[in-house]
Amino acid sequence: MPRVAKGCVERLPSGSWRARVYAGIDPITKREIRLTATAKTEQQAHIELGRLLKEASEGRTPESDATVAKLLDEYAAIAPWDVSTRQTNEGFIRRTIKPALGPMKVRKVRGPILDKLYAELKRCGDLACTGRPFIEHRNVPVLVLNQATFARPGSRSLRRSQRRSGPGSSRPATSCRRSPS
């Protein structure tokens, strides 16, 4: 039988009122879960107490405006990762998780949303991928400019780099790893 949540209202030294509710024990950390709220008046504190008792009986935690991006930033700052692991994880967070889930409130993230994200990542690691065929060009203007800056005008290396950037330098059409849907 589930335990009924208990709570109380108490006056603080500042003159405000605090509502406290015991909501059970966290199964992971084995610590007590206590929900609290402060109010200016005793009547407002009793209203908050009712809200906290309702949340505790439903097994919910207090509302929070924390986003997934904020949570990941705070965790990455204190995570005990080695240098290479930190670089890999921060890159994955920046390229994959934040674009997909970053602006979402943490309390809104549920199993079906994560299942959909996992399915998309399994099909293709690039979330911006449309699954349509594409052409990947080999000629990159920055590389041609870099070669041109080091070559003297009229030299053979400059003419050779200009020839490579012509129409025959692109690879044939390829498609994404995503399976056709």
Tell whether 45 and 80 lie within a shared domain: no
pLDDT of residue 154: 56
Tell whether 75 and 105 lie within a shared domain: yes
Tell whether 49 and 81 lie within a shared domain: no
Please answer whether residues 126 and 95 qualify as being in contact, where contact means their C-beta atoms are separated by less than 8 angstroms.
no
Structural domain tally of the chain?
2
The reply to whether 133 falls in a domain is no
Last residue of a domain, one of 58, 77, 94: 58
Give the DSSP letter of residue 170.
B
pLDDT of residue 136: 64
Query: What is the maximum alpha-carbon separation in the chain?
Result: 88
Question: In order along the chain (181 residues), what is the average pLDDT of each group of 10 residues?
Answer: 73 94 74 88 93 80 73 91 94 90 85 85 75 65 49 52 47 49 47
What is the extent of the structural domain holding 46? 6-58
pLDDT of residue 155: 53
Distances (CA, A) of 178 to 113, 174, 181: 19, 12, 8
Tell whether 35 and 16 lie within a shared domain: yes
The reply to whether 141 falls in a domain is no
Taking the C-alpha atoms of residue 100 and residue 114, their distance in angstroms, rounded to an integer, is 10
pLDDT digits (tens, 9 = 90+) for 68-86: 998 899 899 999 999 999 9
Taking the C-alpha atoms of residue 81 and residue 74, their distance in angstroms, rounded to an integer, is 14
The reply to whether 117 falls in a domain is yes
At 73, give phi and psi (nearest 5°): -60, -45
Q: Name the 3-class secondary structure at 147.
A: helix
The reply to whether 63 falls in a domain is no
Tell whether 54 and 72 lie within a shared domain: no
The reply to whether 10 falls in a domain is yes
DSSP string, 68-112: HHHHHHHHHHH----HHHHHHHHHHIIIIIHHHHTTSBGGG--HH
Tell whether 29 and 74 lie within a shared domain: no
Taking the C-alpha atoms of residue 67 and residue 14, their distance in angstroms, rounded to an integer, is 31
Taking the C-alpha atoms of residue 24 and residue 60, their distance in angstroms, rounded to an integer, is 11
Tell whether 54 and 73 lie within a shared domain: no
Last residue of a domain, one of 99, 123, 147: 123
The reply to whether 41 falls in a domain is yes
Q: Compute and round to an integer the Cα radius of gyration of the chain.
A: 29
Please answer whether residues 18 and 38 qualify as being in contact, where contact means their C-beta atoms are separated by less than 8 angstroms.
yes
Tell whether 20 and 42 lie within a shared domain: yes
The reply to whether 143 falls in a domain is no
The reply to whether 98 falls in a domain is yes
At 32, give phi and psi (nearest 5°): -70, 145
Tell whether 77 and 43 lie within a shared domain: no
Here the tokens at position 34 are 């206590």
